[in-house]
Amino acid sequence: MLSYRHAFHAGNHADVLKHFLLVQLSRYLGQKDKPFWIIDTHAGAGLYELDTGYATKLKEYESGIGKLWARHDLPAELADYVDLVRACNPDDSLRFYPGSPWLAKQTLRPQDRLRLYELHSSDSQILQENFSTHGRQVSITAANGFDALKALLPPPPRRALVLIDPPYETRDDYPNVIAALNEGLARFATGTYAVWYPQLSRPEAQQLPDKLKRLPIKNWLHVALTVHTPSPDGFGMHGSGMFVINPPWTLYKTLTETMPYLVRVLGQDGGAGFTLEQEMA
């Protein structure tokens, strides 16, 4: 079982993969003048302290963003993400890690919008506080993000990135992801959807990528980063993946250049590796 409260895991290898891709997808949408939305279904608290509280228990950031922090050989696209993390650490000491809402906000232009959903009462309150000065560009709702897609799609500008990254604490999260995507695609087939999932020994996690491929879609990209061999007892997360529906055509090439680097820097044993596949109509 994956016991999850994101502050415990902030900045780990899974965050590196997820947030690196989030930045790339937003940058791509921003290449056109027309506005777009980013919808984050499970936004969390938005910003995390690494030197106090939950993050100090496991210190997972040390084997994630901590491995990239002092390097001077980062591929350009990966350096873009790390530079955004640096922007919330002005003294050049790694004390804070930005969640997906904070990173997404930094990539937006004035005409773009950010729609955040977080059900957990404590995290939702912290999220409100972290974005209290951002005005109407950022909307925060204390609700289940799976339900948000019915209300928000299609978005007024007809351009959007939907980030779906539930905690997968219960088995219900897996079918809920598929149901939310079926609902979203029926309403907004041309949107970009990015689904994060953990690599676990449980069958639901292992089967999810194939179930995503069977959705009524023509264009998709699947990338996964494994950082170590699964533990013999089947406990814990040994990697994670991102499944992107309607990905930018440039993303595959970017990942062919970046994923070997991430395996080399973040890999912990001989079981480290990556998966990269796509289908484009």
Give domain status of residue 252, yes or no: yes
Name the pLDDT band for 276 (thresholds 50, 70, 90). very high
Give domain status of residue 1, yes or no: no
Give domain status of residue 80, yes or no: yes
Give domain status of residue 40, yes or no: yes
For the chain, how many structural domains are there in total? Answer: 1
Segment 237-264 shows an average pLDDT of: 97
CA angle 211, 213, 216 (to 5 degrees): 100
Q: Look at residue 280 and tell me whether its pLDDT is greater than 90.
A: yes
Q: Look at residue 121 and tell me whether its pLDDT is greater than 80.
A: no
Q: Look at residue 58 and tell me whether its pLDDT is greater than 70.
A: no
Give domain status of residue 165, yes or no: yes
Give domain status of residue 193, yes or no: yes
Domain extent for 182: 6-279
3-state secondary structure of 251: helix
Per residue in 8-48, pLDDT tens?
Answer: 789 999 999 999 999 999 999 999 999 999 999 998 888 88
Annotated catalytic residue 165: yes
Instruction: State the chain's mean pLDDT as an integer.
Output: 92
Per residue in 67-88, pLDDT tens?
Answer: 999 999 999 999 999 999 999 9
The pair of three-digit structure tokens given for residue 132, joined into one six-digit string? 């209290």
Give domain status of residue 31, yes or no: yes
Catalytic one among 15, 112, 123, 165? Answer: 165
Note every long-range contact of 169-173, with CB atoms under 8 Å and residues 24 or more positions apart, other chains counting: 169/1, 169/2, 169/3, 169/4, 171/204
CATH number at residue 213: 3.40.50.150
Q: Look at residue 65 and tell me whether its pLDDT is greater than 90.
A: yes
Higher pLDDT: 2 or 30? It is: 30
- pLDDT for 2 equals 33
- pLDDT for 97 equals 94
Beta-carbon contacts of residue 101 (< 8 Å; ≥ 6 apart): 40, 43, 44, 46, 114, 116, 127, 130, 131, 138
Per residue in 161-212, pLDDT tens?
Answer: 999 999 998 889 999 999 999 999 999 999 999 999 999 999 999 999 999 9
Give domain status of residue 181, yes or no: yes
3-state secondary structure of 155: coil
